[in-house]
Each structure stands twice: as C-alpha cells, then as structure tokens.
Amino acid sequence: MAGFLTSVVTVAVAAGGAVLAISAARGDSSQSEARGAYALDFTMNRIDGTSEALEKYKGKVVLIVNVASQCGLTPQYAQLEELYEQKKDDGLVILGFPANNFGGQEPGSNDEIHEFCTGNFGVTFPMFEKISVKGEDKHPLYKLLSTQPEPLGGEPTWNFTKYLVDRSGHVVAHFDPRITPTDPQIVDVIDEYLER
C-alpha cells in the first residue's frame, strides 16, 4: 500500500496558537523506508523477575510503551490490552515498561504494579520490571530509542510514549503519549507492518 503513514505528525503549539514545529514521515512501498537501530538486543527482567531476551520477539511487530499507574493517561492500559487482544494473532506484541520518571506517577513495587494493571485493566501483554526511561540512569533500551532520529524515535515526553519496532527488530515509528493506542494514527501503521 503506497503512501502509508510511518509515524505520527507531531505539532507543537505556542500559547497563542502558533504552530512551532511539525514533523512527519511518510513511507512509500516503492521507495526504501527509514528504519532506526536494532532494538531487540537487550535482556530484560519480566515483572515477575524472570529474565527474558527481547530477541524472542523478532518476527513480531513490537509496540514498546513506558507505563505508569497514577497518570491521567493510565486508562490507556485498557486500550493497549484491547489492541493486543485484537492483533496478537496477527503478530503484534506490546511490551510495557513501568517507569517513575514523570511526576512520580509510578511509585509502586513491581508486585504492586503487576497487581494494579492486571486487576484493574486485565493486562495480559508482557510487562517488565520498572526501569528509568530518562535521565542519567536511563536504561540502555531507552538510550537507544531516545537517540533515534525524529520521527522514528526521540525522548519520551511523558508516560505512555509509544515506539514501534518492525518484524526485523528495527525502530520504525514513535507516537506521542496523548495519541491513544486505538487511534487510527497508530493502528493504521501497525496494520501496515503486520501485513509484511
């Protein structure tokens, strides 16, 4: 499908309504598409402490999300789970990484986070131990994601920033936290990569 959107349009608006910046990337199946670095070369701990190589997700389309339990965007857990249930048999996996970097909105222990997201939102997609996604103690996975060129990557701006990784394990898109997981801006891009 020619002309599919490979990343979200990012618009920054000043207080007076002036547009400060717009960034977007469009792909065309007849041209080579921008891909970022290989993102699955990390071994992480699942939320239960079990070690897992992200390499096991190669061949899947992967949505990486930094999550939090006490954020205004926390209801996105339900939409992430909905998206996962709808698309997992087609090859989508969502990886949740709790982080306490934004407003102290993920203060709980790994056990508390697991109980919260499963008990309140029925989360079944893979959840990992709490990590840091910005600052001096930023996890190497997020160092890689945040140093990818815009619009493929970039710094997470808040909880529920989303990064998309293609079946070959490369970063291909980055979505603003306020864009919900079931928004067509995300779903259409995921569907395009699932079809490959």
Say if strands 43-45 and 51-53 run parallel, antiparallel, or are unpaired. antiparallel
The CA dihedral of 45, 51, 56, 61, to the nearest 10 degrees, is -10
The helix or strand, by DSSP H or E, that contains position 140, with its residue range, turns out to be: helix 140-146
The helix or strand, by DSSP H or E, that contains position 114, with its residue range, turns out to be: helix 110-121
Question: In angstroms, rounded to a whole number, what is the distance separating the alpha carbons of residues 33 and 163?
Answer: 16
Catalytic residue, candidates 71, 117, 145, 179: 71
Question: In angstroms, rounded to a whole number, what is the distance separating the alpha carbons of residues 39 and 115?
Answer: 28
The answer to whether residue 71 is catalytic is yes
Q: Which are the contacts of 54, defined by CB distance < 8 A and separation ≥ 6?
A: 39, 40, 41, 42, 43, 44, 95, 141
- Report whether 189 contacts 6 (CB < 8 A): yes
Catalytic (active-site) positions: 71
